[in-house]
Amino acid sequence: MGVTRTVVREGAGRTPNAGEVVKAHYTGRLKDSGHEFDSSRDRGKPLTFVIGIGSVIKGWDEGISEMKLGEASTLHVTSDYGYGREGAGPIPPNADLEFDVELVAIGNDAIPGNSSVSTCEAFGIQLCAVQ
């Protein structure tokens, strides 16, 4: 149970620390059917969030915290590290998920306009943590 990571392309940078702002491009799909439910690439804008504070699903907090800057990986997220028994929007209850993720920025380079941080709510409910 939890999250595992398959590295598709090695990164050359460092890993993020809890509390840092990160920026990641992703495509999310249901593991069982392969149905794509969300993609930052379709919007042309990576997701910006603070790692390690619960602002995104647990699978993302743990999986992305192990990624290096510039790395592309597939995160395999079990339902208990995703949206659990409730599901969310197009994600059914107890669904295992897969995310193709590219970590594109960490720290000051990830802050939009280098001022305020966008929350995941600005990008829709897909990656926001279940409260």
| Per-residue pLDDT reduced to its tens digit, 16-67 | 999 999 999 999 999 999 999 999 999 999 999 999 999 999 999 999 999 9
* Whole-number pLDDT of residue 107: 87
* Whole-number pLDDT of residue 118: 42
Q: Measured at the alpha carbon of residue 39, what is the angle toward residues 49 and 52, in degrees to the nearest 5?
A: 25
| Per-residue pLDDT reduced to its tens digit, 83-126 | 999 999 999 999 999 999 999 999 877 666 544 434 444 334 44
Domains of the chain in start order, with CATH, are 3-123 (3.10.50.40)
pTM (2 decimals)? 0.83
Active site residues per annotation: 26, 37-38, 57, 83, 99
Coil, helix or strand for 43? helix
